[in-house]
Structure formats: C-alpha cells, structure tokens
Amino acid sequence: MRDCIFCKIVAGDIPAGKVYEDEHVVAFRDIQPQAPLHLLIVPRVHLASLDEVEDTALLGHIMVTAARLAREHGVSQGGYRVVVNCNQDGGQTVFHLHAHLLGGRFMTWPPG
Ligand code: DGP
C-alpha cells in the first residue's frame, strides 16, 4: 500500500534491521526498542489492524514465527511477550498489522 511505512520495509524500499523473512512475513528490529530484544513480525500483505484479519493461517504463522524467533534469539526459556496493539485505544501507531516480540527483561503486568 502506498504511504505505508511497513509496506516499504517489506518491499525493501527503506532499510530496516531485518532478521527473518519468508513468503508470508517479514521480521525486523523495532526502531524504538522497549526491551533488549524487540522485533516486529509483519505480514507481507497489507492489513491495517488485527480488526481486519480473517486469515487464521496467516495469524497463526505470525505467532509461530514469533515463538521461533524467540527461541533463535535466546529468550524463550526466560520468557517473552507477544503484543498486538489494535487501533487507537490499543496504542497502535502504524496501521499495518504487526506483532511485537519483546524479550530479554522481566515484563510487568498490567501493561500501561
Ligand atoms: P504500534 O504502536 O503497535 O503501532 O507499534 C509500531 C512500532 O513500529 C513502534 O514500536 C515503532 C516502530 N516503528 C515505526 N516506524 C518504524 C520504522 O520506520 N522502522 C522500524 N524498524 N520500526 C518502526
């Protein structure tokens, strides 16, 4: 989608710290990391938010990829958090569906 920053990252039009990609998703480092490990897993297809998702296989793939990346980056045993912010009250700022993978520190609850 034109003017979508994550579509541009997916397409390789702007640089990002990509750590993984396959035919369905791309994962890269968050530009404003909130934990020692902070990756974003985004689908190649443009979906504005979780509210638009009907493809359960794609959503499952995003989650399985997050778990796999957590293992590969050494945070799975200690623990980690996967977050999907949805729309304004959910704190979403980039309107291309993405899951945050946060790890490498203790996560408090409830979130802010
Ligand atoms: P959210 O608030 O859930 O929509 O998270 C959006 C995240 O995207 C936020 O943590 C910062 C990150 N972000 C925004 N622009 C860029 C960018 O150009 N590159 C990278 N790597 N991350 C970005």
Q: Is the pLDDT assigned to residue 1 strictly greater than 90?
A: no
Mutate to test the pocket of ligand 1, among 4, 7, 40 (most ligand atoms within 8 A of CB): 40
Residues 93, 31, 35, 42, CA torsion sign: positive
Q: Is the pLDDT assigned to residue 51 strictly greater than 90?
A: yes
d(CA 108, CA 2): 37
Q: What residue type is assigned to position 14 of the chain?
A: I
Q: Stretch 17-33: mean pLDDT, rounded?
A: 98
- Strand, helix or coil for residue 6: helix
How far apart are the CA of 99 and the centre of ligand 1, in A? 10
How far apart are the CA of 33 and the centre of ligand 1, in A? 9
Q: Is the pLDDT assigned to residue 5 strictly greater than 90?
A: yes
For ligand 1, atom 1, name the residue with the nearest CA: 92
Residue 46 · residue 7 · CB < 8 Å: yes
Q: Is the pLDDT assigned to residue 112 strictly greater than 90?
A: no
Is the pTM higher than 0.95? yes
Q: Is 6 in the pocket of ligand 1 (CB under 6 A)?
A: no
Nearest to 6 by CA among 108, 106, 100, 109: 100
Q: Is 19 in the pocket of ligand 1 (CB under 6 A)?
A: no
Domains and CATH numbers, the chain: 5-103 (3.30.428.10)
